[in-house]
Homo-oligomer: A and B are copies of this chain.
Amino acid sequence: MKKWLVTGFEPFDGSHVNPSAQIVTALSSFYPTESFHGIILPVETRTAPKVLVEALEAIHPEAVLCLGEAAGRTAVSLERVAINLLDFRIPDNAGEQITDLPIVPDGPVAYFSSLPVRQIRDALLEEGIPVELSYSAGTYLCNQVFYTLMHFLSRHQWNIPAGFVHVPSLPEQAVKRHPLTPSMSVDLDIRAIRTIIQMVEEKTP
């Protein structure tokens, strides 16, 4: 098994949980510690990229998967595109709110995911897990972390499988919203992410 870095996020926007953090915690006890390095990122535009980059440099992973919650979505979303843009509808956990700024001034407009997203999608559908290819990871922390990841790998010419996956809200989060959002159980999330890791192991060199 490759050496993996898998990240989740802290809760945000008034929620007390975040499925991405629960998934990382659950998977940490599932995989051998030398192969699976899980970290939880702050939902803070100033610190999240630093924490990610420090982890990349410290762990030197062979595959990276960043996870986040996408309220309102009905399926596991395999993000294909990270864009060089910050535009926050709500403040981050440090109270910072940004409108229309680049993540990396003079950085490229966008990066594609280097995960085998179509093969992953087909495998998840086969398993009966709702999944979709997504062409926008938003313009908040999730996209920022995704872009930061791909930009770091590009500049350092680390040619490894890496990407971002959004999961729906948990049922206990959905009940707090009006109108109710769709949701997905954390058990199904965990099955999905395990399949994603397995597909990357099988389909990438």
Residues of A within 8 A of B (CB): 74-75, 80-81, 83, 85, 87, 99-100, 108-112, 118, 124-125, 128-133, 135-136, 138-139, 170-172, 174-175, 180-185, 187-188
A81:B100 contact, CB within 8 angstroms: no
Question: Please, could you name 11 A-B residue pairs with CB atoms under 8 Å apart, sorted by A?
Answer: A80-B83, A81-B83, A85-B112, A87-B133, A109-B112, A128-B170, A135-B136, A135-B139, A171-B188, A184-B185, A185-B188
What's the least CB distance linking A151 to chain B, in Å? 11
Contacts of A133 in B (CB 8 A): 87
| Residue numbers in B under 8 Å from A138 (CB-CB) | 135
Across the interface, which residues of B come within 8 angstroms of A83, CB to CB? 80-81, 110, 135
Would B81 and A180 count as touching, CB distance under 8 A?
A: no
Distance between Cα atoms of A83 and B108 in the complex (Å): 12
* Cα of A125 to Cα of B176 in the assembled complex, Å: 8
From B109, B118, B172, B180, A111 is in contact (CB under 8 Å) with B109
Asked if residues A74 and B183 are in contact (CB atoms below 8 Å), the reply is: yes
Within the assembled complex, what's the spacing in Å between the Cα atoms of A138 and B135?
7
User: How far apart are the CA atoms of A131 and B85 in the complex, in Å?
Assistant: 20
A129 touches B75 (CB 8 A): no
Q: Pick the residue among B118, B129, B183, B184 that contacts A175 (CB under 8 A).
A: B129
Instruction: Please name the residue on chain B nearest to A99 by beta carbon.
Output: B118
